[in-house]
Homo-oligomer: A and B are copies of this chain.
Amino acid sequence: MTRPNLQIALDHSDLPNALKDVKEVGDIVDILEVGTILCLQAGEEAIRCIRALYPDKKVVADTKCADAGGTVAANCRTAGADWMTVICCATVPTMSAAAKEIEEVQVELYGDWTYEQAQKWLDAGISQAIYHQSRDALLAGETWGEKDLVKVKRLIEMGFRVSVTGGLTVETLQLFEGLDVYTFITGRGITGAEKPKQAAQEFQAEIERIWG
């Protein structure tokens, strides 16, 4: 079983605060995500800054792209992103168009989707999926459970490299023990901690303990 990556989601509403937080933990995590909120607020400048600061890390633009996949992907690549996200209700032509322009595309799973659709994404060359507890659903009281783990397992068995995200803490990582998770994504689980650097180190230590 491969050791999962740790990805920091920079979901700030302004670039300066995102830079301040990433400076603390950027060298500790494996993947740096320019979150949707930050993309929409700071534009491509955010991707360019993160790329400039961390030339050797994977950078993901969490565009949750729904249309014009080719243009959005080319723009993200030009700004320095390695990967980008598309939303699961985008059409397969949108996903394919994106996949042609950037190294890798990740499908973000929100709302209703089917394994039949997922197979079509795989067939179109999309090899990564992000299983998500919606932030608003979490705020509404939902949490991780067996129903989620079953879906994550099935996606992995289908052949996706699967990232999981949404309200993750160091304590919740053990829920995924035995699963070949590709990446754990957390935002405020690290940036909202009293000591973000220590929080990132604790996440990595727990990943190492379970999967190392």
Contact = CB atoms under 8 A, between A and B. Distances in A.
Nearest to A132: B67
B68 A36 contact: yes
Contacts of A110: 66-67, 87, 89-91
Contacts of A46: 43
Interface in A185-201: none
A5 interface: no
Contacts of A150: none
A69 interface: yes
Given A44-B40, A136-B97, A90 B66 contact: no
Interface string A84-111: 0001111101101100000000001011
A125 B9 CA distance: 30
Interface residues of A, number: 47
A70 B64 CA distance: 17
Which among A40, A65, A108 has the greatest number of chain B C-beta atoms within 10 A?
A40
Given A37-B75, A40-B75, A135 B13 contact: no
Contacts of A97: 136, 139
B40 A39 contact: yes
A140 interface: yes
A33 interface: no
A72 interface: yes
15 contacts: A13-B71, A36-B68, A37-B71, A37-B72, A39-B43, A40-B40, A40-B72, A64-B66, A66-B66, A89-B89, A89-B112, A93-B137, A93-B140, A94-B135, A97-B139
